[in-house]
Amino acid sequence: MTTAQQPENKVQQARTVAELVDYIQALTTEIQELYCLDEIPWVVGYSGGKDSTATLQLIWNAIAALPQEKRTKTIHVITTDTLVENPVVSVWVRNSLAQMKVAAKEQEMPIEPHLLYPAIKDTFWVNLIGKGYPAPRNRFRWCTERLKIQPSDSFIRAVIRSSGEVILVLGTRKAESTKRAATMAKHRESRVRDHINTNPNRPNSLIYLPIEDWRTDEVWIYLNQWQNPWGYSNKDLFIMYRGATADNECPLVVDTSTPSCGDSRFGCWVCTIVSKDKSMEAMIQNDEEKEWMQPLLDIRNELDIKEDWDKRDFRRIWGDVQLFERNKNGEISVEPIPGPYTKYWREHWLRRLLEAQTKTRRTAPENMRDITLITLEEMSEIRRIWLEDKHEFDDSLPRIYQEVTGEEFQDPRPGADYSLLGRDEWIVLEEICEGDAMHLELMAKLLDTERQYQSQCYIQSNLIQEFVPMVQELVFLPVLI
């Protein structure tokens, strides 16, 4: 990729509206020149929030101003749906992408929107309910890589394999937080030209940051004064941010003393990394029509218990026991490091989630009545993990599903309903073990392991019966010749 080294723009702390207009015009020219410089495709990260919307709007308007014959390079717009996004934001983004696709075709724009999802084995509920992973913490933040990074990284790698290189366009801004500013300052050390850095995590890719120096009020001024080119409403976006602010205020910033609603964050409704889901709490508080989300907030708060060791196994997920020295209120004790959620609590979280899904489908507005908190494919994978990996042959998932929803569970996995052992055998085993959980687990694993090998032996026996005549023919073949 050929790049020209240019002087860096200085951070502008106080641009007037007139200066902002001039700066946007200069940035439009920069985008057009960069777009026409080579054949390298662009990938724009779009979350539906204010920063990514402003970034995509800048790109769209700049390319739309080019003659048709110069719009030859594909611009991919990618959004990752973690399947646990805030439902209101999730619907907003999906509708935005649909509108974007229609507008791009009508305006003959080289823009292709893509809605990405994590692999079923990596989804939040498959890991938490299926495998028993505890709710994410800063020390065990297992969700971000699986839910957000891997889907987008897989797409970017596919573009690189196809085209050799890629330019990743992001709406990251230094004004978002002190931590973000420090991270961006570090990455500026690998700058190749104005607003463009090399990507330390992915060879053959560059990162373009067109609004890195914008303040929050400038983002809102741009969104409210420049029309959205794919026909979506930036005013509705503004209202959504206002509704997600605790004090229900999101004013136009007129000076440095005026607060902004830029701190309103939209993300996964199950997130336990943050202390509180302030955006969802504010939505429920500020809008009666969003009170239907209260069951989701209740589940999130129930998951957010730091010392949940009573809900977890004393062994790690692979069965080993690891000890640590604990100092609590001056009392030192040696205790096992807690592992995954126990069978009881995994079933509890499934039941709570299905109850919330059933209730929200009754109480949510018409446009949200088809809400899905956990997909059929996720439940099928959870069922497989419980049966095959954890040897819980009582097969409780279909029973819980029917008890909560009143409907029979239809597993899409071929052969999923075939089993030699089931609920009746599990109840008998519980009676034999007389409440000894460890004994019950051991016997269940032994019985299920025997069942699995019995199936393998049956298959091998059939193969041998078919193979023996062939061997006999080969043995006697030289004699016949």
pLDDT at 480: 43
Whole-number pLDDT of residue 31: 96
Residue owning tokens 């954890």: 390
Q: What is the pLDDT of residue 88?
A: 87
Beta-strand runs (E) in 81-204: 111-116, 166-169, 191-193, 196-198
Q: Please name the residues in contact with 182: beta carbons below 8 A apart, sequence gap of 6 or more.
A: none
Identify the pLDDT of residue 421: 78
How is the chain split among helix, strand and coil, in percent rounded to 5? Answer: 55, 10, 35
Q: Are 106 and 100 in contact (CB under 8 A)?
A: no
Q: What is the pLDDT of residue 248?
A: 42
Q: How far is CA 237 from CA 84, 278, 415, in A?
A: 20, 17, 46
What's the distance, Cα to Cα, between the start and end of the chain in Å? 68
pLDDT computed for residue 6 by the predictor: 39
pLDDT confidence of residue 15 = 84
Quote the pLDDT of residue 451. Answer: 73
Residue 232: closest CA among 412, 64, 82, 104: 104
Q: What is the pLDDT of residue 307?
A: 81
Q: Which amino acid is at 305?
A: I
Query: What is the pLDDT at residue 446?
Result: 84
Residues of the chain under the 70 pLDDT cut: 1-13, 187, 189, 244-266, 420, 454-481
Residue 211: what pLDDT?
93
The answer to whether 392 and 407 are in contact (CB under 8 A) is no
Q: In degrees, to the nearest 5, what angle opens at C-alpha 44 toward C-alphas 40 and 49?
A: 170
